Structure 1
Amino acid sequence: MRRMVNGHSGRMTRAALAAALMCASPVALAQGVGPVPTPTQLEEGAREVREGAVAPPDYADPAMWSAGPGGPGPAGALPQGATPNTADPGVAVFYVHPTTFLSKEDDWTQDPADAEANRWTDESVVQRQASAFSACCEIWSPRYRAASTNALRSRPHTDAAYALAYTDIERAFDWFLEHIGEGRPFILAGHSQGGKHVGDLLEKKVAGTPLQERLVAAYIVGINIAEAEVPLRFGSVPVCDHGDQTGCLVQWNAILAGTDLDPIVSAYEKSFIDIYGPQAGQQMVCVNPVTFERSQPSNLSAQAKGAVPGSPGFGAMAPLREGAVAARCERGMLVVYPAPGLELKPLPGTGVMHYHDIGLFWADIRANARLRAQRWLATHR
């Protein structure tokens, strides 16, 4: 069985790589890929996902965590120029990684024990994304049977692969809550597929329960949640209006300035309309991750605290670049203007900056998570 992770292989053609990457992008999360499957196709797809998946991970095993019981692991890495980590954080983060597993065969879900896939996951995303929360918080990041890019290319398999992955996330979250300490506040964070699972977790396990009181914030990045969807799904958990607000959520999707917004905005809004019907608020949520103020949807590059240059890959992060990204929320998308030399490229053939939703704003997210954590602790203790 040949396995590759997140397209990191010279054996793939550019066209195949572009198709795979787009399957992991917010477009796939908005509308899926391929024609609408019949009930029979869905049933067969679900059966194949179940039969092809490995056994559920045992979260009592530290190996089933990229960060957590065994320490911060890759989430403890810092780029040169970053502020040091807090020695005794009072807040815990539950971070869920995005799609990192690609197979050209019938592998619909990731094997949490796959060493190659885990190394790519750890170095290309956990190191670059979860580490942004390490100034305030103890980071926990589960390995899980994530939907593969192969599943995201096949609509008969997509929903079933996501559903199976979510069962792992929910069990990991329960284990996390049991072991972080009674009453300890937490942040939820995830990107792309991880953002979808974090959104589902917020909806099903946190919103409207006693756990909501312990929610510092939810960073649900790189998916598509509409303004009107927030109260419908999350009840009294609102979008964060201010940078120091707690008990709320933020979202953004980065796209390169000059890109035609119509196709992706239309796809996003269609995904909302298909479920809820046309109504006010079908535009996607966009919170600028430099200002973190809804009243300030734009920022100058001089305001940006620091981006991680270069594309995701193996090895250490490059030194932070301060003052290198201007951005503005437009039609629910975060339009970005990266400085020359950052070497942050959009997905092939698109202007979608999906892989850099967090890297573009690494130091800004770091400062904001710390601010929200401090505010929660000051308010509640």
Structure 2
Amino acid sequence: MRWMLAVLAAWFAAPAMADVPAPDYAQPQYWSTVDSLPQGVGATKALRGVDVFWIHPTTTRSPTDFNHDPLDPAVLKWTEESAVQRQGSAFAACCRVFAPRYRAATSKALMDPANREKAFALAYSDVERAFDWYLAHENKGHPFIIAGHSQGGAHTVSLLEKRIKGTKLQDRLVAAYVIGINLMEGDLAPRLAGIPFCSSPAQTGCFVQWNSVLAGSDTSATLKAYAGAFAAQNAGKDGGKPLCVNPVTFDARRPLSVSAEAKGAVAGDPGFGAMGPLKAGAVAAECRDGLLTVWPAPSLGLKPLPGGSMHYHDVGLFWADISANAALRAKAWLKAHGSR
């Protein structure tokens, strides 16, 4: 599994967390509750027949562990306030959100090739068990969205590939939001064959992806790394370009959006505490060479990562746009299939 800033997934158990029990998803402490929205945004109950399974990104910079304890107080505070509330809340404005607390791989694991695959495998095993528990006990036949950012995006793709593709569940997939990883054109088949990349804003049964970079950044090294990673994992094959949709237009025919079109961004770097009011008209964006080039307003106060990556802001920059699009796709699914 390839994704930005050395984030990979794979398939073995990680011994570093042997003393931390596997989450029991029948217990409520292993689920987050989205109870915070930006100031001035009100929740709606119009689409409570549609669920969202939200998978949070990497939230632990542990110097010792390869996977985090999801109930550790410090880990939990950062995961909840910086990831679940700030990001997952974009889906809560329309739908019922289920967000598992799982033994996510840490930043130490991301930078350690000898243990990275083990750490991601352990994390994914939790996510898959949480998804299966949700299906068995909470879903009740509802249509659903799967969404995740960064590490969570990687696990989202794994769920699509291993639990959704070619099964009856695919009929209930409203859409998947794969945010902040680097799927390539070559991943459309055979890996995700039958689950297309969304080409229009109201399309269902498909997935979207974007990776944000600051305008003016040199993206050549990033694109070369993406191409090399795909080739290394696919017997030297050319993967084509990274997949990208503009999360303001969500339309393959409109890769460019001007700032006036943006519905609302969350200001400030991810951190603790409640979100302030959304700022509309604060970002222009364009899919270029498979990456999402962004021009954020200085008033947002957002800082890029080295190389101009806006990875931390993949969701916050487009909070209201994502919220509106999730509702649009959910309504489209319900109209096509009948309300459940």
- Structures share fold, TM-score greater than 0.5: yes
Match of 2:30 in 1: 64
Given the alignment, which residue of 346, 354, 367 partners 2:324? 367
What residue ranges of structure 2 are gaps of 5+ in the alignment? none
The CA deviation string for residues 157-215 of structure 1, in whole angstroms up to 9 with x for no partner, is 00000001111000000011112243210000000000001100110000110000000
The amino acid of 2:22's aligned partner reads P
Match of 1:127 in 2: 85
Match of 2:280 in 1: 322
Match of 2:4 in 1: 26
From the superposition, tell whether residues 62 and 187 of structure 1 become closer, same or farther in structure 2 (CA, over 3 Å).
Answer: same
Q: Does 1:273 align with 2:231?
A: yes
The amino acid of 1:61's aligned partner reads Q
From the superposition, tell whether residues 47 and 179 of structure 1 become closer, same or farther in structure 2 (CA, over 3 Å).
Answer: closer
Q: Structure 1 CA distance, aligned partners of 2:237 and 2:165?
A: 23
Superposed, 1:179-258 pairs within 5 Å as 179-258=137-216
Q: Does 1:99 align with 2:99?
A: no
Q: Structure 1 CA distance, aligned partners of 2:15 and 2:222?
A: 30
Q: Structure 2 CA distance, aligned partners of 1:338 and 1:271?
A: 29
Q: Structure 2 CA distance, aligned partners of 1:91 and 1:189?
A: 13
The amino acid of 2:89's aligned partner reads S
From the superposition, tell whether residues 280 and 273 of structure 1 become closer, same or farther in structure 2 (CA, over 3 Å).
Answer: closer
The CA deviation string for residues 22-58 of structure 1, in whole angstroms up to 9 with x for no partner, is xx971312699xxxxxxxxx99xx664354x511000
What residue ranges of structure 1 are gaps of 5+ in the alignment? 1-23, 33-41, 68-74
Displacement of 1:256 = 0.2
The amino acid of 2:27's aligned partner reads D
From the superposition, tell whether residues 183 and 25 of structure 1 become closer, same or farther in structure 2 (CA, over 3 Å).
Answer: closer
Displacement of 1:281 = 4.7
Q: Structure 1 CA distance, aligned partners of 2:122 and 2:70?
A: 13
Which secondary structure does the structure 2 equivalent of 1:132 belong to? Answer: helix
Q: Structure 1 CA distance, aligned partners of 2:119 and 2:308?
A: 27
Which secondary structure does the structure 1 equivalent of 2:300 belong to? Answer: coil
Which secondary structure does the structure 2 equivalent of 1:337 belong to? Answer: strand
Q: How many residues align?
A: 337
Q: Does 1:336 align with 2:297?
A: no
Which secondary structure does the structure 1 equivalent of 2:260 belong to? Answer: helix
Match of 1:113 in 2: 71
Match of 1:49 in 2: 16
Q: Does 1:80 align with 2:58?
A: no
Match of 1:9 in 2: none
- RMSD over equivalenced CA pairs, Å: 2.0
Query: Mean Cα displacement is larger for which, 127-136 or 186-195?
Result: 127-136
Q: Structure 2 CA distance, aligned partners of 1:296 and 1:98?
A: 28
The amino acid of 2:7's aligned partner reads L
- Does the aligned pair in 1 maintain the 2:14–2:122 contact within 8 Å? no
Q: Structure 2 CA distance, aligned partners of 1:31 and 1:135?
A: 30
The amino acid of 1:267's aligned partner reads A
Q: Structure 2 CA distance, aligned partners of 1:50 and 1:115?
A: 17
The amino acid of 1:110's aligned partner reads H
Aligned identity (percent) is 52
Displacement of 1:298 = 0.6
Q: Structure 2 CA distance, aligned partners of 1:148 and 1:309?
A: 26
The amino acid of 2:201's aligned partner reads G
Query: Mean Cα displacement is larger for which, 180-189 or 251-260?
Result: 180-189
The amino acid of 1:363's aligned partner reads A
Displacement of 1:81 = 3.6
Q: Structure 2 CA distance, aligned partners of 1:219 and 1:197?
A: 11
From the superposition, tell whether residues 284 and 200 of structure 1 become closer, same or farther in structure 2 (CA, over 3 Å).
Answer: same
Match of 1:5 in 2: none
- Does the aligned pair in 2 maintain the 1:326–1:338 contact within 8 Å? yes
Q: Structure 1 CA distance, aligned partners of 2:248 and 2:102?
A: 31
From the superposition, tell whether residues 31 and 207 of structure 1 become closer, same or farther in structure 2 (CA, over 3 Å).
Answer: closer
Q: Structure 2 CA distance, aligned partners of 1:229 and 1:25?
A: 13
The CA deviation string for residues 313-339 of structure 1, in whole angstroms up to 9 with x for no partner, is 110012100000000001110000001
- Does the aligned pair in 2 maintain the 1:30–1:267 contact within 8 Å? no
Q: Does 1:353 align with 2:325?
A: no
- Does the aligned pair in 2 maintain the 1:96–1:191 contact within 8 Å? yes
Displacement of 1:76 = 2.9
Displacement of 1:350 = 2.5
Displacement of 1:82 = 2.6
Displacement of 1:78 = 1.2
Q: Structure 2 CA distance, aligned partners of 1:85 and 1:197?
A: 28
The amino acid of 1:77's aligned partner reads S
The amino acid of 2:61's aligned partner reads L
